[in-house]
Structure 1
Amino acid sequence: MPVARCPVIISLALAVLAGALSVPGVGRAKAAEDPRLAVAITLDVPSTGISIASDGRRFLVLARLDGSAGPQVVEWKDGRLAPYPDAARNGWTKGDDPAKAFIRVNAQRIGPDGALWLVDTGAPGIGNPVLPGGPKLIRVDLATNAVARIYPLAAVTRADSFVDDVRFNGGHAYLTDAGAPGLIVLDLATGQGRRVLDGHPSTVSDRPVSAEGKPMHGPDGKPLHIHADQLEVSPDGRWFYYQPSSGRMSRIATRYLDDPSLSDAALAAYVEPFAETPSTGGTAIDAAGNLYVSDTDRLAVLRFAPDGTRTTVVQDPRLVWVDAMWIDDAGKLWMPAAQLNRMAPFNDGTDRVAKPLTVFTLAIDAKPAPNDHR
């Protein structure tokens, strides 16, 4: 009957329209660009994180998922990328000692001590197992431009681990494991680490990551799940926030996280849901405790207040997969638009990255959390 079919036709039309809007270049191309965004750096290789030192030096980590050769950690100097701290650390090849060079650096950031900290997954490529001695946290002294200490993570990682990122709180470093879902608590004085919340629902991705309105797939063609990924510490050091890349942010009081006497079962009782966040590439936190969360579907950056309320900071068609963000002393939010979802490993084997890639800045009238970096 014609009347009965009308709702179906309308639904199909809406579905086609929704599908068209999720297709690259359709709908999104008509979206207005926000004039507040400033282009800070242009790159040929995606960057998944940037740090700005107190003296203005800029450091980036490059995601060479396209198989390109070159350094992974760089300093931006006079418009050029220089391997940092040197070419040798960035020059690992198969057969070299994994403990003495970068295997695959996934994150970098200047810590509250003013040093540059690097997270090395220890796996030479997506889907490859970690190498013996490969996973590590590295501290680089910016005054001497030399590696000051290496924290081996073999005792707290597994064959399918993907140590993702790091934050600091007093004498501890917190790291997320996006491969074998869980958290790592590292005593910076002793170098001893503990795995906590292993396989807890708050660390496990329960839905595929999506970007530009499309679920992402891994190199194996299966829906992509990135477990415990983004993380932040509140300015007062009281709360640790974390989530899988697909969203749903949780928090736990750091006093429980730091307590080695608590079992995982006991620790789990203190986990709290914080906010219904979207699929996310990266986060940042300001001195007032506001969390900045990139929305990889809406091509936006959201702000979550300490009470969980949400506002949109900026939305722009150029903000494709904004990864780890940075707040500088001038009150600017630095946003590397990495376009990771467009790279071949996550786009069914087809690379559709639009070059050059861009690191944007936006004035947000906020200062960085003093316990986050200086």
Structure 2
Amino acid sequence: MRHLLLALFLAPLLAFVVASSSAMAAPMDQLVPEFASNTLIMNGVTTALDGRRFVVLQPQKPGQPEIAEITSGSAKPYPDAAWNSWHVGQDGRAAFVGANSLRIGPDGALWVVDRGAPGIGAPLADGGPKLVRIDLATNRVSRAYDLATVAQGASFVDDVRFNGGVAYLTDAGRPALIVLDLTTGQARRVLENHPSTIAARPLMAEGGQLMDAQGHPVVVHADQLEVSDDGRWLFYQPCSGPMFRLETRFLDDPSLDNEMLSGHVAPFADTPSTGGTAIDATGTIYVSDTDRSRILKVSPTGEISTLIADPRLAWVDAMWIDDSGKLWLPAAQLNRTSGLNQGRDAVDWPVTLYSIAIGAKPVRR
């Protein structure tokens, strides 16, 4: 009787394990390699309506570009070599000093965030911190927004999202959000040193805390941000989570000081250490979990579920949803680079850009 009871107990358990294993295998097989490189680390991707693909790179040796277009199976410096040839001591107004993110904006142009420094903790170059607009029809820079008035000292301008005539950016070095008027070019800092912009947790990846080459913990403050499809909400977080939200009508009001503005900030989702995010038109936010190599889905009410878990998704950074319903996933392996891995280079080449079909429409604001 004991053996019979044990068998009756184990049978459904075994069936559950087999079913669960099959369910895990199916999503993993949905990953599509789109581009791979044995020399370049891609930590962001965006695609234009006509299919053109652009990536932001983190150069690991001299001569590598900051921004590139993927064409004919290779990564070509974009918009040209000059913009990708900055050197120490050079004025940064007409070159990428340290491109950190990029995206096709609602106007169809390519927008690039230049943190203005060649690396974390490095001094800002003159004219370095900026938001650059590139016209895809002419492949020329049409405007560069100087962020020197709001990005100084330890600033590390990180990412950007749009809402009508306003751009929102994060400062991951001096924790704050930046609100930029795209017409006048005037910018202001908000929520500086607010709990929602400060990294209060260890930054984790693949089971360990990130340490720099000197053995110090890596700290990345306000980093990821998304705007809802209706433009009502801004979602944002430090790199190590969690995620907060704020109505943009308050963010856009220059009459509100930090104390008044902070009263409108609310916790949204208990997200983990994150490489990048993307949002679809239904309000679902996709979050890369760098500690467990997976992509999470955050519902419009803040509930978290797993889209896919796969060891190949090592530090997926800035994601992108294209107009065919594919989620693009740059598995950047940044945590394995020497600067974020106690001086040891453990990158498993090639670095691969994946995609997965999610059947969702993107937000284009």
Structure 1, unaligned runs of 5 or more = 1-30
Task: Determine the C-alpha separation between the residues in 2 that align with 1:68 and 1:238.
Answer: 43
Matched, 1:58 2:58: no
Amino acid corresponding to residue 104 of structure 2 in structure 1: I
Shift of 1:95: 2.7
Task: Determine the C-alpha separation between the residues in 2 that align with 1:186 and 1:122.
Answer: 17
Give the aligned partner of residue 311 of structure 2: 317
Structure 2, unaligned runs of 5 or more = 1-23
- Three-state SS of the structure 2 residue aligned to 1:89 is helix
Deviations 1:310-344 (A, max 9, x none): 11101101000000001011111000000000000
Task: Determine the C-alpha separation between the residues in 1 that align with 2:80 and 2:185.
Answer: 25
Give the aligned partner of residue 47 of structure 1: 42
Q: How does 1:202-217 map to 2 (within 5 A)?
A: 202-217=196-211
Deviations 1:3-25 (A, max 9, x none): xxxxxxxxxxxxxxxxxxxxxxx
- Three-state SS of the structure 1 residue aligned to 2:83 is coil
Task: Determine the C-alpha separation between the residues in 1 that align with 2:131 and 2:266.
Answer: 28
Structure 2 counterpart of 1:232, from 223, 226, 231: 226
Deviations 1:58-78 (A, max 9, x none): 0001111x3342211000011
Matched, 1:151 2:145: yes
Task: Determine the C-alpha separation between the residues in 2 that align with 1:235 and 1:86.
Answer: 33
Deviations 1:276-302 (A, max 9, x none): 000000000001110000001111000
Amino acid corresponding to residue 172 of structure 1 in structure 2: V
Matched, 1:351 2:356: no
Matched, 1:69 2:48: no
Task: Determine the C-alpha separation between the residues in 2 that align with 1:234 and 1:180.
Answer: 25
Alpha-carbon contact 2:91-2:126 (below 8 Å) kept: no
Give the aligned partner of residue 13 of structure 2: none
Structure 2 counterpart of 1:190, from 184, 204, 222: 184
Task: Determine the C-alpha separation between the residues in 1 that align with 2:282 and 2:96.
Answer: 35
For structure 1, which segment, 194-203 or 31-40, has the greater mean C-alpha deviation from structure 2 after superposition? 31-40
TM-score relative to the length of structure 1: 0.89
Give the aligned partner of residue 173 of structure 1: 167
- Three-state SS of the structure 2 residue aligned to 1:266 is helix
Amino acid corresponding to residue 327 of structure 1 in structure 2: I
Deviations 1:38-57 (A, max 9, x none): 11110221111000100000
Task: Determine the C-alpha separation between the residues in 1 that align with 2:41 and 2:85.
Answer: 19
Task: Determine the C-alpha separation between the residues in 1 that align with 2:118 and 2:288.
Answer: 27
Give the aligned partner of residue 219 of structure 1: 213
Amino acid corresponding to residue 184 of structure 1 in structure 2: I
- Three-state SS of the structure 1 residue aligned to 2:153 is coil
Amino acid corresponding to residue 97 of structure 1 in structure 2: D
Give the aligned partner of residue 355 of structure 2: 361
- Three-state SS of the structure 2 residue aligned to 1:106 is strand
Structure 1 counterpart of 2:116, from 122, 147, 150: 122
Give the aligned partner of residue 243 of structure 1: 237
Give the aligned partner of residue 260 of structure 2: 266
Task: Determine the C-alpha separation between the residues in 2 that align with 1:220 and 1:129.
Answer: 17
TM-score relative to the length of structure 2: 0.91
Structure 1 counterpart of 2:289, from 271, 289, 295: 295
For structure 1, which segment, 305-314 or 190-199, has the greater mean C-alpha deviation from structure 2 after superposition? 305-314
Give the aligned partner of residue 324 of structure 2: 330
Give the aligned partner of residue 80 of structure 2: 86
- Could you say what the CA RMSD is over the residues aligned between the two structures, in angstroms? 1.1
Amino acid corresponding to residue 50 of structure 2 in structure 1: D
Task: Determine the C-alpha separation between the residues in 1 that align with 2:213 and 2:161.
Answer: 29
For structure 1, which segment, 92-101 or 350-359, has the greater mean C-alpha deviation from structure 2 after superposition? 92-101
Task: Determine the C-alpha separation between the residues in 1 that align with 2:51 and 2:131.
Answer: 24
Over 3 Å off, 4+ runs: none
Give the aligned partner of residue 13 of structure 1: none
Amino acid corresponding to residue 128 of structure 2 in structure 1: G
Structure 2 counterpart of 1:139, from 121, 133, 142: 133
Deviations 1:242-291 (A, max 9, x none): 00010100000000000000001100000000000000000000011100
* Percent of pairs with identical residues: 57
Amino acid corresponding to residue 290 of structure 1 in structure 2: T
Deviations 1:127-159 (A, max 9, x none): 211122110000000011000001000000121
Task: Determine the C-alpha separation between the residues in 1 that align with 2:120 and 2:311.
Answer: 27
Task: Determine the C-alpha separation between the residues in 1 that align with 2:184 and 2:247.
Answer: 22
Task: Determine the C-alpha separation between the residues in 2 that align with 1:334 and 1:251.
Answer: 24
Shift of 1:220: 3.0
- Three-state SS of the structure 1 residue aligned to 2:29 is coil
Task: Determine the C-alpha separation between the residues in 1 that align with 2:269 and 2:118.
Answer: 34
Task: Determine the C-alpha separation between the residues in 2 that align with 1:62 and 1:184.
Answer: 23
